[in-house]
Amino acid sequence: MTTTLFTNTRTRSEKAFEEACTLMPGGVNSPVRAFKSVGGTPVFIAKAKGARVWDIDDNPYIDYVASWGPAILGHADPDVVKAIQKAAELGTSFGAPTLAENEMAALVIDLVPGIEKVRFVSSGTEAVMSAIRLARAYTGREKIIKFAGCYHGHADYLLVKAGSGATTLGIPDSKGIPEATAAQTLIAPFNDLNAVEALLKAYPGQVAAILVEPVAGNMGCILPECGFLEGLRALCDQSGAQLIFDEVMTGFRVALGGAQARYSIQPDITALGKIVGGGLPAAAYGGSQAIMATVAPEGPMYQAGTLSGNPLAMAAGLVTLKKLKAPGVYDELERKTLRLTEGLQRIFDEQSVPVAINQAGGMFSVFFSDKPVTDYDSAMAANRELFVRFFWQMLDRGVYLAPSAFEAGFMSLAHTEELIDYTLEAAEKAIAEAL
Ligand SMILES: *Cc1c(COP(=O)(O)O)cnc(C)c1O
């Protein structure tokens, strides 16, 4: 392999996107895919295998998007594909209980410290939405505290100071959300315990939950500072608010047991998504036996789903989690991610480019910033123009990074050292051109 620029073009993607724009809003079914924050035309993917994706013009890329996290084993893992095929032949959905759901529930309960009972749903949005409803039902309170730049899916009361696409597009607040709904959501800066404490004082006995991405991943990857998660746990214990970890991204990503295992902090409620479905639409929320007893039909909090616990998604999730349970997997993932981030640090240092690189397990971010990035404001202060030029230089060299300065990067187990080293070579040339 060589890291020279492709001679290939992306004319088929350009044509396809033109057509897509006449058919779907912005040509896409999820905003970040439209490449708005980097300009230009999104790459249409034809197929993927292992650490690589191919576009419809036949250009290969080393993929650090990984379907935004789920593809932790690499794309089209043979065991996952086989499990899906086998399940499909037995029928794709029944709307009735299956053994796969039992097996999957037992596995999730076994792996995630804060979950004693679990409910499967179909998307991360649904998982967090239900977790919030559960906290409200359980506490009889209405307000929630979330952190600026954290993304928790697109439920009305959560699209307030949200990250991800909403950050990229500069619309932290979406149109179409009633003011009264947004007013139930209180905002604090990430890593700022004093701000949380002040909100709890200002609204005594009214806060149902503190909702947090324990490692933020939707304003780029931002780590919890020492004592932050412990502090949230203590504030919840004092105030009676439920601590909700949105581990839709971090679950099975920063450690087998998620961020709660990595940092040894037990939340009251956990939301899972992305990896848990093994690349198919599945997500989950869970907590203690006592709190989950609130959920229908056991308790008075209603929540349902036609395709919840779908047999194909359970099959894909089961194989994925079983493979992740093998000894040494997370050491390997961390080692690969560090090979990349340490290599990048060296390259940027050599070229005197100020960067703040954050990493936890298999997720990472490179901010072009001369200061540490610890919250939404410091993320926003990073050099976006340089990122955009770097992004296109990398894409043209066959490295597919998330098309936004505010999305985390994802390592997979299928990334070989050779592919990582190729990425580093590409980065060295790309940054020289981008400066
Ligand atoms: C992706 C994500 C969600 C939303 O999940 P969807 O499956 O896209 O609805 C929620 N929370 C976090 C932390 C996420 O990363």
Assess whether pLDDT exceeds 90 at residue 8: no
Residues in contact with ligand 1 (CB, 6 Å cut-off)? 123-125, 128, 151-153, 213, 217-218, 246, 248-249, 273, 283
pLDDT of residue 55: 97
Assess whether pLDDT exceeds 70 at residue 199: yes
Catalytic residue among 274, 330, 336, 376: 274
Assess whether pLDDT exceeds 60 at residue 7: no
Q: Give the C-alpha distances (Å, rounded to integers) separating 419 from 229, 275, 391, 396.
A: 35, 22, 17, 16
The pLDDT tens digits of the residues spanning 235-252 come to 999 999 999 999 999 999
Average pLDDT, the chain: 95
What lies within 8 Å, CB to CB, of 387 at 6+ separation is 38, 368, 405
Q: Give the C-alpha distances (Å, rounded to integers) separating 85 from 70, 89, 91, 324, 415.
A: 19, 6, 10, 20, 25
Catalytic residue among 61, 64, 151, 285: 151
Q: What token pair was written down for 349?
A: 């240092």
CA distance 302 to 1: 55
Neighbours of 80 (CB within 10 A): 23
At 121, is the secondary structure helix, strand, or coil? Answer: strand
pLDDT of residue 73: 98
- The closest alpha carbon to 277, from 96, 132, 104, belongs to 104
- Measured in angstroms, how far is the CA atom of residue 87 from the centroid of ligand 1? 26
The answer to whether 396 and 423 are in contact (CB under 8 A) is no
DSSP string spanning 71-117?
A: -TT-BT-HHHHHHHHHHHHT-S--SS--HHHHHHHHHHHHH-TT-SE
Strand ordering across the sheet containing 409-410? 356-360, 363-367, 409-410
- Measured in angstroms, how far is the CA atom of residue 271 from the centroid of ligand 1? 9
pLDDT of residue 3: 56
- Measured in angstroms, how far is the CA atom of residue 217 from the centroid of ligand 1? 10
Query: Which residues face 357 on adjacent strands?
Result: 366
- Measured in angstroms, how far is the CA atom of residue 1 from the centroid of ligand 1? 35
pLDDT of residue 170: 44
Assess whether pLDDT exceeds 90 at residue 171: no
Return the percentage of the chain with pLDDT > 90, whole number.
91
Q: Would you give the distance in Å from CA 384 to the centre of its chain?
A: 21
- Measured in angstroms, how far is the CA atom of residue 26 from the centroid of ligand 1? 20
Neighbours of 6 (CB within 10 A): 14
What lies within 8 Å, CB to CB, of 84 at 6+ separation is 280, 312, 315, 316
- The closest alpha carbon to 167, from 229, 213, 102, 227, belongs to 213
Assess whether pLDDT exceeds 80 at residue 169: no
Question: Is 375 assigned a catalytic role?
Answer: no
Neighbours of 203 (CB within 10 A): 16
Question: Is 55 assigned a catalytic role?
Answer: no
Return the percentage of the chain with pLDDT > 70, whole number.
96
What residue owns the CA closest to ligand 1's atom 11? Answer: 152
CA distance 195 to 434: 38
The pLDDT tens digits of the residues spanning 354-396 come to 999 999 999 999 999 999 999 999 999 999 999 999 999 999 9
What residue owns the CA closest to ligand 1's atom 10? Answer: 152
**Residue found by looking up tokens 């499967």 in the block:** 120
What lies within 8 Å, CB to CB, of 180 at 6+ separation is none
pLDDT of residue 363: 98
Q: What token pair was written down for 358?
A: 């954050």
Residue whose CB lies within 8 A of the most ligand 1 atoms, among 33, 121, 152, for a mutation test: 152
Question: Is 274 assigned a catalytic role?
Answer: yes
pLDDT of residue 196: 97
What residue owns the CA closest to ligand 1's atom 15? Answer: 249
Where b means 16+ CB within 10 Å and e means fewer, 297-334 reads eeeebebebebbbbbbbbbbbbbbbebbeeeebbeebb
